[in-house]
Structure 1
Amino acid sequence: MKYRKLGKTGVVVSELALGTMYFGDETSESEAFSILDRFTEAGGTLIDTSNVYVGGESEEIIGRWLAARPKDITNRLILTTKGRFNPSPDVNDSGLSRRNLQRSLDASLKRLGIEQVDLYQLHASDMKTPVEETLQFLDDAVRSGKINYIGLSNFTGWQLQLMVSTAKTMGVHIPVTLQPQYSLLSREIEWEIVPAALHNNIGLLPWSPLAGGFLSGKYQRGSNPEAATRAGSEKPLYQYVSAEYAGSERNWSTIDRVTYIAREIGATPAQVALRWIADRQGVIAPICGARSLEHLNDNLGMTNVVLNDEASKVLETVSRPGPGGYPYGEFGQWQRDRWMQDGSPAPEPVVDKGSEHPLGCKK
C-alpha cells in the first residue's frame, strides 16, 4: 500500500479509501467485519462513512468493529464521516445549521464509539444557512477536540470557493478535502471544481470511482444486467444512474479501452480504472465502496498497477467530457487543458510498503 498526505495537512493516508455505504444493507455485519479486517491488513487506513448510510447502521457497525479490535490496529486509522442529512422528518433535522450539525456530530461520535473523528465532511451544500454559521460551528468543533479536519462533499466550484474565502476572512479553520463524484465516466468536475480545489490546495476523495460498477467490466452493450448487480437493482437511484451511464457511446468506448488495457497488463478493469483516477491531479484516494470481500480484494490490486504514458493518454482521450456550450465548449476545453497541465501534480507516495512487482503497461 502506498500513502499520501491528506490535502494540506500533516496526516498521511492510504491511496485507497474504504467506503462503507452498504454496511448493514447490502453488506451484512459479518461481511463488513471481514472487509474491514482485510482492508487494514493490506495497509489501508482511510475509512469513510456518513450519519445517513443505512440510517446510521454503517457507523454503528464500524463502531462495534473498532471496539472489538486491538488499539494497535484502530489507532492508525483515519476515520471520516459526514453531516447534513438526517432520516428524521423534522424540518430542523437537516441542513448545515449549528443546531443540526451539532446533533449530527454528537450522534455520529456515539455510534462510532469515539470522542473525535479525524475528518468531518459536509455532505452537501445548504444555501439556506449562512456559511458563516456553518464555518463557525466547524471551527468550534475543531477547537473543542471533536473533529480534527474539515471536508466538503458534493459542492460546486463556486460553493467551494465561497466556503474557503469566507473561512479565510473569518480566520477560522479551512476545509482540506472535497469528496466529489469522479471517474473515467464522470469527469465534468474538471471544468471548474477541480481547478477550484487545486487553486485552494484541497485534496480530492472521489466517490463512485468505478461508476456504479460499469468500469469493472461486468456490463455489456445491449445486455440486461443481472439482478444482483447495481444496474439490475430495483432501487430507483441505481436505475437512474445506470441508465445515464449506459446511454452514452463515449462511456462504452471508454469501458472497451479500460478492458483492453487491463487484459494487456494482466490486471482487472476495476484496477485500471482505480489506478487512473488515483493518478489524477489533486486526488488523494478514490473511495472503494466494496460490497463484498471479493470486490475489495479486486480493488486492492490497484496498488500494484502502473499505467504508462501511452495507456494514460488513451484513457484521457477516449473519456474526455463532451464539448457542451459556452463556457464549456472549445473555450472551456482550452481552460481545462491548461489547468490539467499547469495545476498541482498528482501527490507522490510518501511510503511504499509491500508493493513489489508493479505491473507495467505494454506499448
Structure 2
Amino acid sequence: MPLDHYVTLGRSGLRVSPFCLGAMTFGEDLGWGSSVKDSEAILDRFIELGGNFIDTANLYTKGHSEKIIGDHIGHDRQKRDRLVIATKFSGNLYVGDPNGGGSNRKSILAACEQSLRRLRTDYIDLYWLHNWDKFTPIEETMAALHDLVQSGKVRYIGVSDTPAWKVTQGQLIAQFRGWAPFIGLQIEYSLLERTVEGELIPMAQELGLGVTPWSPLRSGILSGKYTRRNAATVKPEGRQWTASYLDERSYTVIDELERIAKQLETTVARVALSWVQARPAVSSTIIGARTLAQLDDNVRALEVKLTPEQTAALDALTAPKLNFPAEFLNLAHMIQAGGTTINGQPSQLIPFGVTKKGDHY
C-alpha cells in the first residue's frame, strides 16, 4: 500500500494518508528534535510521497512546531488546502495563567486563534483535545468545539489521551444535542503498549472513531537501533524517560521482530509499524522522523505484509493483561455462545461458576 492510498478517518468522509506525519520533533527548542531546515525537508518529502495528514500541537516545541509548518506551507494556498492539518489544544504555554491551558471555553477559543496564527491558515482540519481536563465539564468543551466547527475555523474534532468513559460521555452529548462529534481517537499504541485494547479500542469501534496511534515504535525502542547484542553500549539519548522502556520484555519483542524482519527481508521498524497499522480500528498511524532517512525507512512499512503466523507470534508475545471486566466477559461470552462459532470465532462451553476441576468460584 503506498502513502497515497487514502483512508477515511473513523465514521467521517475525511480522507487521510495511512501514515500521518507527526511533527513533535519539529524544532530544537527542547534540546532534541530537527532543525528548521531538516523539518522542512521532511515535510516536503512526506508530501512528495503522497502523504496529506500532518499532526502537531500548540505545546510541541513551545509552539515552534506549528510555526515551522505554517512558515513553510502557509504561503502556498493550494498546498495548504490539499493537506489535512491537525493540531491540539489543552497544553499551557503561559506560566502563571490558569486559563492558558485546559479545555474550558476561554482557553479553547484562545488556543485556536493562536494556532491559526502560527500555522498561517484560517482553518484547522482536525482539532484534537490533547488530554482530558478534569476541572472542566465535558459539555462545556463539546459546546466550544461545536462553535468552532460552526464558525468554519475548525472542520473536524478529535480526542486524545482521555479515559474511554469520558470520551463516550462527550460523544453521546454531541449526538443527543446535534453537535459536531469526535471522528478520531489518538492514543499510544504499539507492541509494547497494548492495554488500550481493553477499553479504548472497542470504544472507538463502537462510536465510529478512527484510531491514530502515537509512539508506534515506543519512542524509538522498536526502531531496530537497540538490540540485546548492543545493550551494554547503545543507550537512548534525548528524552530521559525512553531508557526506562528497555527491559527484558522489550528485548524479547525485539528478538522476535528481528526474526520476522529477516524472513521478510525488511527492517525491525517496518515490521513493528506494519503490525500497528493492521490492527482493528486503526485508520492512520502517526510516524515521527528527525531525518529524511528515518522517514523514508518508516514509510516503506506500508509495503510490509505480515503473514497470519507472524502476526500471531507477535500477538502471543505481547498480549496485555486487561483490567476487569475484560477477562470475565471473555468467559461469559463463551458461555453465551454455547460452544458454537460466532463471527468466525469458536467458543468453548464452560458451565457458569464451575472450574474445569468442578470447583465453584
Q: TM-score with structure 2 length normalisation? A: 0.86
1:50 paired to 2:44 = no
Structure 1 residues 4 and 336, CA gap change in structure 2 (3 angstroms): farther
Query: How many Å separate the matches in 1 of 2:98 and 2:200?
Result: 30
2:176 to 166, 169, 177: 169
SS in structure 2 at match of 1:177: strand
1:144 paired to 2:147 = no
Amino acid across the alignment from 2:106:
R
Given that residues 195 and 322 in structure 2 are in contact (C-alpha distance below 8 angstroms), is that contact kept between their aligned partners in structure 1?
Answer: no
1:128 paired to 2:135 = yes
Given that residues 64 and 112 in structure 1 are in contact (C-alpha distance below 8 angstroms), is that contact kept between their aligned partners in structure 2?
Answer: yes
Given that residues 219 and 225 in structure 1 are in contact (C-alpha distance below 8 angstroms), is that contact kept between their aligned partners in structure 2?
Answer: no
SS in structure 1 at match of 2:128: strand
Aligned to 2:87: 81
Q: TM-score with structure 1 length normalisation? A: 0.86
Aligned to 2:22: 19
Query: How many Å separate the matches in 2 of 1:325 and 1:126?
Result: 23
1:202-230: CA deviation from partner (whole Å, max 9, x where unpaired): 11010000111111111123724646xxx
Query: How many Å separate the matches in 2 of 1:240 and 1:335?
Result: 39
Amino acid across the alignment from 1:139:
H
SS in structure 1 at match of 2:214: coil
Runs of 4+ displaced beyond 6 Å:
335-338
Amino acid across the alignment from 1:254:
V
Aligned to 1:223: 231
Identity value in percent = 38
Give the 5 Å matches for 1:238-249.
Answer: 238-243=239-244, 245-247=245-247, 249=248
SS in structure 2 at match of 1:80: strand
Aligned to 1:359: none
Query: How many Å separate the matches in 1 of 2:148 and 2:161?
Result: 21
Shift of 1:232: 2.6
Shift of 1:287: 0.5
Shift of 1:331: 2.5
SS in structure 1 at match of 2:220: helix
SS in structure 2 at match of 1:213: coil
SS in structure 2 at match of 1:155: coil
Aligned to 2:237: 232
Given that residues 225 and 232 in structure 1 are in contact (C-alpha distance below 8 angstroms), is that contact kept between their aligned partners in structure 2?
Answer: no
SS in structure 2 at match of 1:126: coil
1:294-318: CA deviation from partner (whole Å, max 9, x where unpaired): 1101101112111121111111111
Structure 1 residues 223 and 112, CA gap change in structure 2 (3 angstroms): same
Higher deviation after alignment, 4-13 or 249-258: 249-258
Task: Name the count of aligned residue pairs.
Answer: 329
1:28 paired to 2:29 = no
Given that residues 187 and 212 in structure 2 are in contact (C-alpha distance below 8 angstroms), is that contact kept between their aligned partners in structure 1?
Answer: yes
1:331 paired to 2:337 = no
SS in structure 2 at match of 1:100: helix
Query: How many Å separate the matches in 2 of 1:8 and 1:156?
Result: 20
Given that residues 190 and 336 in structure 1 are in contact (C-alpha distance below 8 angstroms), is that contact kept between their aligned partners in structure 2?
Answer: no
Give the 5 Å matches for 1:260-271.
Answer: 260-271=259-270
Gaps of 5+ in 1: 344-363
Query: How many Å separate the matches in 1 of 2:286 and 2:74?
Result: 23
1:39-89: CA deviation from partner (whole Å, max 9, x where unpaired): 011111100000010110000000011035x54433221100000012212
Shift of 1:6: 1.2
Given that residues 151 and 178 in structure 1 are in contact (C-alpha distance below 8 angstroms), is that contact kept between their aligned partners in structure 2?
Answer: yes
Given that residues 74 and 121 in structure 2 are in contact (C-alpha distance below 8 angstroms), is that contact kept between their aligned partners in structure 1?
Answer: no
Shift of 1:170: 2.4
Given that residues 251 and 319 in structure 1 are in contact (C-alpha distance below 8 angstroms), is that contact kept between their aligned partners in structure 2?
Answer: no
SS in structure 1 at match of 2:182: coil
Higher deviation after alignment, 28-37 or 159-168: 159-168
Amino acid across the alignment from 2:135:
K
Aligned to 1:349: none
2:10 to 7, 12, 37: 7
Given that residues 227 and 255 in structure 2 are in contact (C-alpha distance below 8 angstroms), is that contact kept between their aligned partners in structure 1?
Answer: no
Query: How many Å separate the matches in 2 of 1:103 and 1:124?
Result: 17
SS in structure 1 at match of 2:21: strand
Query: How many Å separate the matches in 1 of 2:20 and 2:125?
Result: 14
Structure number with higher relative contact order (C-alpha < 8 Å, ≥ 6 residues apart): 1
Given that residues 227 and 254 in structure 2 are in contact (C-alpha distance below 8 angstroms), is that contact kept between their aligned partners in structure 1?
Answer: no
Amino acid across the alignment from 1:223:
A
